Amino acid sequence: MSIQKRVWLTGASSGMGLNMAEQLAAQGHKLALTARSAKPLLELAERYPGQILVITADLTDLNAVQTAAERINSAWGALDLVILNAGTCEYMDLPTFDSALFARVMQTNVQGTVHCIEAALPLLRAGTKPHLVGVGSSVTYVPLPRAEAYGASKAAVRYLFQSLELDLAQWDIKVSLVSPGFVDTPLTAANDFPMPMQVSSEKAARTILRGIERGQREIRFPTVFISILRLIGSLPAALRVLLTRRLARPASEEGSN
């Protein structure tokens, strides 16, 4: 991305988001960085004076998102690249099915993303070679235990972006979906299970930005891990379930967290 772009990046205060922000800033792009926590964004803005808009917002609040978009419009009048990276993860521990947990995850991962899309599309239509990017998850390749809420939310994001690709083509807006495996972030640091082939957030950010530059429809990594998940997901249902149900926690461990 050698040509300077006007970029809106959400979930920019930690993990992949902060690393993408750092790499994009170093490349000279204009950045609107959104997160609930302002401190890391302000520190980055100090290193790149005049290049970064810091916008704190709760993306589940439509009014806050629209206000963020108004600030971007006032500053630049358009966007060339939008990376919707903000998200959360909570796991379900049966036998108690927690509908409030489900609602929290869906509200952040789906409705928060939808709010940003609504606000960003007018700015993208005014941009140069506009590109909309959403961060999904490799969990959508195969159903996994405890991932009822998180997996459903990311499956919704996958379908949403694949549909948007069809409808936005008439305005020449490129659409990409990011499907990462396990990435070392503050969010995954709370996971209480093995995370095979985990990659650093810095490497993940580089991979995502390289995929965006190449115009990839789907940016998925790490390759071997994704290939294994896709293979399992393509198996006959009986065999797939036989393999993946072994990952479920024994009943004696239910509710232990």
- Residues recognised as catalytic: 150
Beta bridge partners of 207: none
Q: Are 131 and 208 in contact (CB under 8 A)?
A: no
C-beta of residue 44 within 8 angstroms of C-beta of residue 20: no
Distance CA 245, CA 137 (A): 20
Six-digit token pair at 84? 């919707």
Q: How many helices (H) and strands (E) does the chain have?
A: 9, 9
Identify which of 82, 183, 96 has the alpha carbon closest to the alpha carbon of residue 134: 82
Kindly state the DSSP code that residue 251 receives in the 8-state scheme: G
* C-alpha pair distances (Å), 62 with each of 14, 108, 171, 237: 22, 12, 24, 40
Of the candidates 162, 182, 200, 197, which has an alpha carbon nearest to the alpha carbon of residue 20?
A: 200
User: Please, are residues 79 and 72 in contact by the beta-carbon 8 Å criterion?
Assistant: yes
